[in-house]
Every structure is written in C-alpha cells, then in structure tokens.
Structure 1
Amino acid sequence: MDPRVELAALTGRIAYHVVKERITKPRPTNLRAVPPSPDHLTDEWLTLALCDGVRGARVLRHDLGGRDDGTSSRRRLTITYNEAGTAAGLPTQLFTKSGPTFKTRLVSAAAGLSRIEANFYAQVRPGLDIEAPPTRYSAYDPVSNRQLLIVDDLAATEGAVFGTVLTRTLTREQAEDVVDTLASLHVAFWEKPLRKMYGSWLWNSYDFMATLNVTIGAAARILSGFERGRDVIPARLYDRRHEVPDAMMRSLEINISGPQTMLHSDVHPGNWYVTRDGRMGLCDWQCVVQGGWARDIAYALASGLPPADRRAWERDLVDRHGKRLAEAGIAAPSPEDAFLAYRQQMPHAMFMWLGTLGRHWAQPDYQPHDIVMESVRRICVAADDLETLDAINERPVLAQA
C-alpha cells in the first residue's frame, strides 16, 4: 500500500479510537487490554500488573501526578498496597508514559515510536545490564495504537537527577561514562540477528528514517529548522542546507553497511540521568533501531558537550568506545576509520533537533524552545567543525565484524 494512504488510514483510525475513548471512558479489567492513559487505571488492574507472584498482595489506592506532554504524555504514579504488598517491597513510586491525545498518539504511531518503546521495555530491557529504568508494565495495542509504559520513578528510587542541555555540563568523567554505557549497549547486541530475536518492530536506521520522510516530511522539517535556527547555525553550514536531507540518507546507507548492533538513537542530555552514586543512566527508548555504533556516539557527544569540550575530548572519547569493543573481543575499527564514521553520522543528530525546531503546526510542541535552540547550535557547530557533509562522500567505513 502507498505509505501516504497508510498514513491517512492510520490518522482516521486513531481519531476514531480517541473519540471513542473519551465517550466510553474504558476501564480495562485484564492485562490483555491496554489502558489508554493513567486516567483509565483502576486499583484492580494495577493489582494484576504490579502484584503478580506475590501472594495476597493488592493495590489499595493509586494517585496520579501532573501531566507533562511532549511526544508522549508523562505522569508520576504513587501506589498504596495492602500489608502483603508492602511487606514484599513492591514498587510504590512509578512513572508512566502514554499517548492519550490525538496528536501524541498519531505522532508516536506514525513514526512507530510507541510500538518500539513498548517492545523494547517488554522484550529487551529485562535482560539488559546497563543503568536504565526497570520495566513494571509495557504494552502496545496495534488496533487502537494505545501504549502504556510503567517504570520506576528513578528520582524517588535512585535519587536520579535529570537535566537538559541548558542545566547540565558533563564532566570528563561523566562523558566517559556516557561512552561506556553506549559501548555496553552496543557490545551486548553486536552482530546479533536482532530481528529474528525480537521481531519486525526493530527497524534498521535507514528504514526508520525512510518512514519519517513520508510520515512527517523529514526533509521539509529539516529545511524549516534551518530557517528558524539561522541565527545559531554556522553560516557555512547554512549555505549548504539544501544538501543535508540527501546527505542524511547517504550517511544512513553507510550506517547500515558495516557491523550492526542495537542503538538508542535519541541520546541527547534530556534522556540521561545521574544516579545517587554518580552513574549515568539512559531513559526514553522510543527510537531504538539496528545500525552502526557511530550514530549514537556522534549524537551523544555533539548534543551533550559544549563545543569547546567536544573539540578537546572527542578523539579520545571515540577511541574509548573502540577500546571497549576490543575489550569485549570485537575487532574494532582503527582510530582513523572510527573518527571518520563519527564525522559521517552527525546528520541523524541534526535531523532530530532541526526537525524538532522545524516541526509542522499539526505536530506537538516536543521541547521548550530554548532547549531546542541550544541543541541545534551545538550539533550544527559540530557538523561544521567536522566537515560532515564532505566526510559523507569519503570512503565508507567497513570495520571487521
């Protein structure tokens, strides 16, 4: 089917279900039914979701915090258990994500974000040994496109401190921990048959972007972002803005041509947290794809470090990732090839924030404007420094598996 026809059908189906939910106010009674949002939860349903395996445990009460909307709707959830649940140490401070509104659900469904994140937390996260929120409940309904995710509220359970590109400046040690965390993710899934292991929801990086080219008009969003962000974008890069959409797809052809692993794909500062004991943790797994490692590292360093620190540290940090691969017995690329791959993979980070800045009026307001502008500035400065558009035309990096 023509992707545009599929998008029109998806839009109509989501509109139908959202209106129906507002009228019927469904209250699911079993775990096969995905609640549309935390507002539809009951103590009985939460007992099924949270008390499984604990004899006699029941949820007596639940309380919801305020709602924060972006690409999804986020709310805190506080649980009160009976004596059996309390004695078992069942989680009381939780965090939820859902898509209760037409806009949030359409954007998440059209880009596959809700399906990806629900499957990641249900299938992958329980066996993944990195600092990330533990799964309590995760499900997606492909008919209504409902998603509900329940994880621990890490601010309460681990003293986690979240930040943004404006409020956190990574130390060298923290930047190294970011690289180590991503390397642990990449090593865990290096060259594994991920689609056979987890299913068709796990796209590769090229196919994910090709879908966004249709569903949100990615090229137009990028060029709109260039216009709206012109004041913070290096003039040399702005003058070549019309090359960027095609360069992005070429960079993704390179990305899927070498060794493949699992990528987080949205590693900006707002998706990292610092635990009570100083570890860097990673949340918001709705853009997970299969691809080459450099895409994550380029995005993390360009968005997470001020330009001066990035320039001073980036070669060492890229080398550090290669050393972590080698320590795991993986034949890592040479330092020269690794740095070329890093330079070549900057367009994904550019799209994520230029596309946010250049969003269509029908799309949700994903992030505060000042955060968007600083993210655009850092990433575009990095792309200009590293001559990314020219690097993409250099020989592809094909590291040994």
Structure 2
Amino acid sequence: MAHPTSAADITPAYLTWLMAQAVPGVTVTHVDMVEAKTYGEQFVSTAGRVIVNVRYGPGGPEDLPPRLIVKVARGVDKILAPFYENEVNFYNRVRPELDLETPRSFGAGFDAKSSDFAIVLEDLTLRGATFPSVLSPVTLDTVRSILSQQAKLHARFWESPRLRPGGDLAWAGSHVEGKVADLMMVGAEPLIQHEIDTVSFKREMVQRLRTTGPDLRNGTLALHRHQQSLPQTLVEGDMHIGNSYLLPDGSGGLLDWQLTCRGHHMHDVSYLVTTALSVEDRRAHEKDLVRFYLDRLAAEGVADAPSFEDSFTEFGRCLIWGVYIGWLTTPVVNYGWEINVINHLRLTTAFEDHGSARLIAQLG
C-alpha cells in the first residue's frame, strides 16, 4: 500500500497492513485523528507527525496502546528521503534487539520510488514523558541518565564488524559515506550558506568565530575523516537535548534516529552535553560528565575505550559538527527563534572555550 502523505490517508486498512509486519495478528478497526503536526509547527522539522486514537480487533496482542504517533514524509520535499529510509531501517533492523529507552515501534516502511515513509510509534505521553529543549532547565542527573543510554547503545556496537561493508548494519553508512552523509555534506551546503547569507545573527555568529561557511564545511570533513581512523560504533547522530525525552522517574530516552550512522562515541556525547546545559553549567561539569559516560561505557562491557584525555579532545573537535551541521542548517521556522539562537549560543561558546578551530587545524 502507498504510505500516507496526510492524516486523511491513515486508515484502519493502512495501519493494519503496516503494523502486521511487526505485530503479527493485529487488526486496526477504527482510527480517530487527534492532531496533525506539519513542517514548522511545534518543533516539527524533517517529518510530519500525526497522532491517532485507534481500536483493535480480536486476535492481536493485548498490550497494544490506544494512541499512536505516525511519522510521515514532509510534504513533497523528497530531498529528505535518505533521512526517512535511515530511520525506517533503524526501527526495523536495530530497535528490536535493543534494551534501550527509545520509543517502541509498531511498524515502519519506506518506498524508494515515491520517497514516502511511515513509522508507527508509541505515544510517549501515555507513559508521562516530557520533552526538554534548550529553554528547559535540565539537571545533571537528567544528563547522566541520557548519557547512560548513549553508553548502552555505543557499547553494544563498539567496533562491531556488523557496521562495516558486508555487515548487516552497513546500510547505516558513516559521516563520510552513504546517502545521509552525501545529503549532509553536499546537499546541505547551499542551504547552510543561504542561512549564513540571509539570517543576520547566523552571519555575525560565523564572523565572530573568524571563519566562513566553506571553512566550517572543510573542518567538518576533516573531523569526520580523522575520526574514521578511531574506534567506531553506532551513534544516534543528532543527539541535541531536543531529541530526548524524560520519564516521571527522572530517566531519559533517545529520540529521532534519522542521522544514525557509524561514528565516534564523542559525537553523541559532545552534542548532548553542550546543548543540554547552560554555558555556566557546561563549563563547570563537562569533564565530570565525560568521565561519567566513560565509566558507564566500561560498565557496559567496553574494555578498550579511549582515555579521558583522548575522548575530551575529540569532544572539543566534535563541536564543529554542532555549529555547522547541527544548527546552521536549521531554519528558524523549524524550532522557533529562541531555541535556534540559544543552541547556536551554547555551541559557538563551547567551540571557543575548547579551541575547536585549533584542534581541527591540527588534523591538517
């Protein structure tokens, strides 16, 4: 069946067809649309989200939730197809084996011809989840909880041959290879330069760093090529604080797997810590948080992790990705003015604090 491009396309027949691939015996008998969020609305950037209440027929599992989130393609913008395919692959090929706090999926599909997709997810609010952003006060315990989930993910796939060519997870690519890498490092370049040229605060932010869009791009490429020679794992790939959620017991989970790939462990850690905390708190606690993460990585079974010193150096280098790809590529309409500005402020301040330009220049 064709994947939906609007809320009206999410019918009982469609959901039964898609969910049956992950939930044998399921039958959806009724769908009520609760809310549809499209591009530029309530933190929706690369995909639409439709919330539906559903009823099920007999014969399926008894623990299916009465409310679902259906992620769908963002209108007619097919340039984002690599993101959609990547996330469908994660939920179909990786999520079932993970003991990780991340949303449960009830079916996912991608059509290469149309670039349409759908992912049926649990509605985390039924478990009392809340969704932080840079506007939310985030405690150190919250950051530690999310870092613990990162460590669990990274440990499972640490130096795994499954991620290499010929492995069953080779589809994930890396920061320098694959469809997502091509989109981020080639396809996004004109968009980023347009943001620099037309959005005043972004232009002056880049000027304050005494750099340019092309220089940031070249530095990001140098970072990725360098880190390909270091220990690799599966990274979430876009781990700013807005791609997490908090449960009532204080534990945190990981959201949004569109950029997941083979990469360096500090890619996720650096982006989370820098966006989660105010400038003052990040300066005071980032070293302890990196040590905490490395302790959790060891507890999850990684005996040969890089030292704190090496990891913290890469933490500083990774900041260039957050500046260039993470938020220069993000139009203000995606998350609103204040969230956009504060993410830039935190990332560029950390970039200066760590001497990231110097650390990248050392790579040649």
Question: Structures share a fold, TM > 0.5?
Answer: yes
1:392 equivalent to 2:360? Answer: yes
- The structural deviation recorded for 1:236 is 4.5
What per-residue deviation string (whole Å, max 9, x for no partner) do you get for residues 228-275 of structure 1? 3356x48741x2235322111111112211011011111112211111
Q: Determine if contact 2:131/2:244 at 8 Å carries over to the other structure.
A: yes
- Greater shift, 310-319 or 195-204, is seen at 195-204
Q: Work out the CA distance in 2 between the residues paired with 1:58 and 1:387.
A: 56
- What is the match of residue 354 of structure 1? 328
| Cα contact 2:109–2:118 (8 A) shared by 1 | yes
1:341 to 296, 310, 314: 314
Report the CA distance between 1:222 and its aligned residue: 6.6
Percent identical residues: 28
CA distance in 1, matches of 2:17, 2:148: 37
Q: Displacement of 1:128 after TM fit?
A: 1.1
What residue in structure 2 maps to residue 376 of structure 1? 344
1:315 aligned onto 2:287? yes
RMSD of equivalent CA atoms = 2.4
State TM-score, norm by structure 2: 0.88
TM-score (norm. length: structure 1): 0.80
3-state SS of 1:257 partner: coil
Cα deviation for residue 354 of structure 1 reads 1.3
Amino acid corresponding to residue 257 of structure 1 in structure 2:
S
Residue in 2 aligned with 1:148?
118
Aligned partner of 1:246 among 218, 224, 231:
218
Distance 1:83 1:326, change over 3 A: closer
Q: 1:159 aligns with which of 113, 128, 146?
A: 128
Cα distance, 1:146 vs structure 2: 0.8
Aligned twin of 1:95 = 69
Contact (CA 8 Å) 1:229, 1:357: kept in 2 or not?
A: no
Q: Does 1:172 align with 2:144?
A: no
37, 41, 50: which one aligns with 1:68? 37
Contact 2:270-2:318 within 8 A present in 1 as well: yes
Contact 1:63 1:78 in 2 (8 A): yes
Taking the aligned partners of 1:234 and 1:49, their CA distance within structure 2 comes to 45
* Corresponding residue of 1:124: 94
Q: What residue in structure 2 maps to residue 6 of structure 1?
A: none
SS of residue in 2 equivalent to 1:229: helix
Unaligned 5+ runs, structure 1 = 1-27, 359-364, 397-401
User: Is 1:181 aligned to 2:154, yes or no?
Assistant: no
Alignment partners' CA distance in 1, 2:279 and 2:7: 40
Structure 1 counterpart of 2:14: 45
Q: Does 1:306 align with 2:281?
A: no
How far 1:107 moved relative to its partner?
Answer: 3.4
By how many angstroms is 1:173 displaced? 0.9
* Contact 1:225–1:355 under 8 Å retained in 2: no
CA distance in 2, matches of 1:199, 1:144: 24
Q: Does 1:114 align with 2:84?
A: yes
Q: Which residue of 199, 205, 217 maps to 2:189?
A: 217
Amino acid across the alignment from 1:81 = Y
Q: What amino acid does structure 1 have at the position aligned with 2:219?
A: A
Higher Cα radius of gyration: 1
Aligned AA (2:149): T
How far apart in 2 are the matches of 1:284 and 1:292? 18
1:273 aligns with 2:273: no
What SS is found at the alignment partner of 1:249? helix
Tell me how far apart the structure 2 counterparts of residues 266 and 392 of structure 1 sit (CA, whole Å).
20
Any idea what SS the aligned residue of 1:121 has? Answer: helix
Shift of the 58–206 alpha-carbon distance from structure 1 to 2, 3 Å rule, reads closer
- How far apart, in 1, do the equivalents of 2:197 and 2:146 lie? 31
How far 1:116 moved relative to its partner? 0.3
Distance 2:141 2:86 in 1: 31
**Residue pair 2:46, 2:74 contacting (<8 A) in 1 also:** no
- Over 3 Å counting, the alpha-carbon distance change for 1:331 and 1:240 in structure 2 is same
Structural mapping, 1:326-337, within 5 Å:
326-327=298-299, 328-337=301-310
CA distance in 2, matches of 1:63, 1:236: 50
- For residues 329 and 194 of structure 2, the distance between their equivalents in structure 1, rounded to whole angstroms, comes to 5
- CA offset at residue 386 of structure 1? 0.8
The alpha-carbon distance between structure 1 residues 228 and 107, as it changes in their structure 2 partners (threshold 3 A), is farther
Task: Say if 2:72 and 2:119, in contact at 8 Å, map to a contact too.
Answer: yes
What is the match of residue 42 of structure 2? none
Shift of 1:95: 0.5
